A and B are shown apart, each in its own frame.
Chain A
Amino acid sequence: MQRIGVFVCWCGSNIAATVDVETVAQTLAKEPGVVFSTDYQYMCSQAGQELIQEAIREHRLTGVVICSCSPRMHEATFRKTVEKAGLNPYLLEIANIREQCSWIHKDKLTATQKAVILGRAAIAKVQLNAPLTAGKSPVTKRALVIGGGIAGIQTALDIAEAGFPVDIVEKKPTIGGKMTQIDKTFPTLDCAACILTPKMVDASQNENIDIISYAQVEKVQGFVGNFSVTIRKKARYVDEHKCTGCGLCTEKCPQKKVPNEFNLGLDNRRAIYIPFAQAVPKVATIDPNYCAMLKSGKCGVCAKVCTAGAIDYKQQDQLITREYGAIVVATGFEPIQLDKFDEFAYSQSPDVVTSLEFERLMNAAGPTGGTLLRPSDGKHPHTLVFVQCVGSRCDGAEKGKSYCSKICCMYTAKHAMLTREKYPDTEVYVFYIDVRTPGKNFDEFYRRAVEEYGVHYIKGMVGKVTPQDGKLKVQASDLLGGRQLRIDADMVILAAAIEPDKTARPLATMLTASMDTNDFFTEAHPKLRPVESPTAGIFLSGACQGPKDIPETVAQASAAAAKVIGLLVKDSLTCNPCTAKPDELMCNGCSSCEKVCPYGAITYVDKSFRGPNRTTLIRRVAQVNPAVCQGCGACTVACPSGAMDLLGFSNQQILAEVDAICR
């Protein structure tokens, strides 16, 4: 039999003025299971709390109901109060008779009656409360950053600086990401490489950072504080420890016709290569798709010229399994494929380029040595047309993306400005839907492009680009001028929409981290928890969560690092005890619950059960990891068997409240 104590708070006159607290206490004293009932001026005061504690001891209470202000106000206070008196803190229920009763009603009789009903509901519920204990789970003090772009590097550096070991997994042979391909950065026009490469070097030299390049995450197990991750380190056929990065092999390799992905295929590299001069790690990699030795066993030039003896044609992929406490996703973005945008003749003319390709064409380390030349004939272009929103803000999203890629307005202004500055003889047109320049010094930057550099900004969309006689015939509409334009351009630069990296989707599945329909990672809360995934222990850094420019990326990267550090400094995690709990005897393993869990807290195991007549029955049943479950209860309703229940808000408890209220 339960022994319930009821404590009705006056809250000074806040409650007592409208609710007859004495009547409430006396009426509730007659409820089944109630052995003690009283009222007091301020339950939350020291004296009030002592009153509760004394009653718990004296009347051997097994449950406590406090009729007072909102549980959002003092639930935590009173939990501590009862705990100090030796009662489990979860054997407490609060009836909200202030915010939801005394403050909204004027008639004392009505308010008193309602307070009694609310008290009854709390009594009915507390009868069924079970003592709950918050579990603890240890934290592995090591972080994993997936993606070695500016986001990943910044996050790793910040975590490492705080003293925690961190691994960066990068799928390319070098870290650095998209920023390495960028020439200048807006709105300051400083050189991207000059600000990025020192960070790359910092990362490689930091004792706490282990860069695992040319590698991919293969498998993720575990949960917050206790992840176990298997990483596939692809064979680069070069011993990383022996290679000095001298680059001799990359000069001697006879296979010269390999499209250079670093320059987006605008020039070629060798079959053994170092992506660029400042690569980290600065180690050669053999491209197995082109290496004659690997393909046919004939060649071996690089091995002959390598004085360090680093070439190893027999190298195999390597699987590394490590434990982590936190995982940061920094998988970044890539420009979309433009094959669906034939109207811009991207596939027909080499002089139609994407903005990123344009970056390379403008870059001193790029295929043209920094001189702007038309890819088709190497001539200097005079008329350049920039097209904005190629694939961004598309209606219906069948062709492109419904969202704004955010960075295009600014980098196009940058491109236009740089072009006009270097080559004042050029005519530069920018076709836009809207120019969006929120951000520090952004609008000033854009206005400089228009006002100081004479870039022609035209509101309107390019309808068609036709290569003809060595020119690109651009048909466009000028919405403000209300006229059709025809421009003979030498180059057309397309501001292609950006989308999450292709590897993000399978990674999200492994991490059980949720994604939106565009494959951007979802944040735990769009406003309040923007750098965390709903899946505990998974953090988001950079453009994998949504389009971002560099400063925003870096800011989010550091924010994610701060969250990771906050997690890793803990020795153990206290779990929310109000978690879902499956009844294995009822569970039929149908996977409904797993599909609605936003946290990936539910897994399945095959378990043996006693069948009829001494048989054993193996059944698939759900298991909830209480360290991961946040207690939303979505699974409890998805379960057709009623096998899943929520501790603290169980079916029985809520039904008891319903019964008490409707009685």
Chain B
Amino acid sequence: MKTWKLSTLDALFAAIAGKQTLYIPADVAGQPVFARWEPGLAMTRALNTGRSAKDLFFPQVEDLARFRVAGKTVSVSPAQALQEPFVIFGVRACDCRSFDILDSVFLAEPADTFYQARREQATVVTLACSQPEETCFCTSLGIDPQAPGGDVSCWMAEDTLYLQANTEKGEALLASLPRLEDGEKPDADSSVFDKLPLKDLDFSAFSGKALMDWFNSPVWERLSQSCLGCGSCTFVCPTCQCYDVRDFDTGHGVQRYRCWDSCMYSDFTMMAHGTNRPTQKERFRQRFMHKLVYHPNNHGGQIGCVGCGRCLQKCPISMNIVKVANALKEGKA
């Protein structure tokens, strides 16, 4: 295990950024977000970013190709996938787990090359949590917020940053940094995690029962009743990966790009002759069935949630996966 003085964290960032692009969680226009480090940019004091770390692998808008149309002819020039290595520092355990979930979708055959390139170019440096918010429930999903994983795990204790490489990429990163000293981190106090109000959530039930039982649960109607149909929960969610592919006529050609989409939107499945999810109930149900049932069914029981608590904080009407999971298990809303 390596160490670095927290008082000179800026120097560490400068050292990393000297070789590749570095993203750290920082306050930009008052909002914590993963931002490209530049001298002077300080880490946010917030526990986690408002938007999740998925942005760096699956950005909200991404160009796919540019077309030119002339007469009856069409030509394509594909967009370049990222070719520059980068480091993302300060990823929390929950967000780090979300990469696994995104991988299971984007890297499944045929792999999404844009995502894949970013994943390959990235070195993920995680940061252990010590002061969780009440909305945190990663522990109930088998995540240890104090052992966050990634290519390099970091801990902050007293005045020291402890770094532990977990992968070859991580080793390489640490090896490239000067003046790292050896050290052992002290045992952390984990008692606050035992006090988390949502720590005892149990998601195992959802793979235990038949899909249709959950689907036909009477609670959906009531739970979805006040849903505004906005995309806040999906857009701040680190595991939501739905996207739309759209064309933009620039006047000099057509740019095809993909952008985040939300299954909560009424036009998500709209076709020329209607939609198969006509009311918010079906859309709402889709989102949570996907997280709790469909995704685990298709991916060896892996729940599509990492317990980051963002949807608990951001939903305009305070509806969230915790309320849904509890209501489903109780069978009443």
Contacts and interface: CB of A to CB of B under 8 A. Distances in A.
Question: Do A and B touch (CB < 8 Å)?
Answer: yes
B8 interface: no
B71 interface: yes
Contact of B251 (A30, A612, A613, A662): A662
B36 to A, nearest CB: 32
Contacts of A663: 251-252
B278 A613 contact: yes
A contact patch SS = helix
Q: For the side of the interface on B, what is the size category?
A: under 10
Interface string A28-58: 0010100000000000000000000000000
Nearest to A610: B274
Contacts of B71: 30, 32
B252 A612 contact: no
A39 B152 CA distance: 71
Interface string B58-78: 000000000001110000000
A659 interface: yes
Contacts of B251: 659, 662-663
A445 to B, nearest CB: 70
A612 B278 contact: yes
A613 B279 contact: yes
Nearest to A611: B278
A612 B69 contact: no
Given A30-B70, A659-B249, A659-B251, 10 more contacts: A30-B71, A32-B69, A32-B71, A612-B278, A612-B279, A613-B278, A613-B279, A662-B251, A663-B251, A663-B252
Contacts of A612: 278-279
A612 B274 CA distance: 9
Interface in A644-663: 659, 662-663
B317 to A, nearest CB: 21
B137 to A, nearest CB: 34
A503 B70 CA distance: 65
Interface of A: 30, 32, 612-613, 659, 662-663
13 contacts: A30-B70, A30-B71, A32-B69, A32-B71, A612-B278, A612-B279, A613-B278, A613-B279, A659-B249, A659-B251, A662-B251, A663-B251, A663-B252
Contacts of B278: 612-613
A613 B279 CA distance: 8
A663 B252 CA distance: 7
Contacts of A662: 251
The secondary-structure label for the interface of chain B is: loop
A202 B44 CA distance: 93
B273 to A, nearest CB: 12
Nearest to A612: B278
A30 B71 CA distance: 7
Contacts of B69: 32
B111 to A, nearest CB: 36
Contacts of B70: 30
Contacts of A30: 70-71
A662 B249 CA distance: 13
Contacts of B249: 659
Nearest to B251: A663
A245 to B, nearest CB: 72
Nearest to B277: A612
B277 to A, nearest CB: 9
Interface in B79-112: none
Which 8 residue pairs are nearest across A and B when measured between Cβ atoms? A612-B278, A663-B251, A612-B279, A659-B251, A613-B278, A613-B279, A32-B69, A663-B252
A125 to B, nearest CB: 15
Most buried by B among A612, A659, A662, A663: A612
Nearest to A659: B251
Nearest to B282: A612
Contacts of B279: 612-613
Interface string B268-280: 0000000000110
A663 B251 CA distance: 6
A127 to B, nearest CB: 13
B219 to A, nearest CB: 18
A658 to B, nearest CB: 10
Contacts of B252: 663
A484 to B, nearest CB: 71
B199 to A, nearest CB: 39
Contacts of A32: 69, 71
A663 B250 CA distance: 8
Interface string B281-293: 0000000000000
A495 B263 CA distance: 74
A1 to B, nearest CB: 9
A662 to B, nearest CB: 7
A124 to B, nearest CB: 10
A612 B283 CA distance: 13
A32 B69 CA distance: 9
A613 B282 CA distance: 11
B4 to A, nearest CB: 53
A659 B251 CA distance: 7
Contacts of A659: 249, 251
A30 B249 CA distance: 18
Interface string B240-263: 000000000101100000000000
Interface in B180-215: none
A204 B252 CA distance: 74
Nearest to A613: B278
B265 to A, nearest CB: 15
A662 B251 CA distance: 9
A387 B71 CA distance: 81
A659 B70 CA distance: 17
A436 B160 CA distance: 95
A352 B105 CA distance: 95
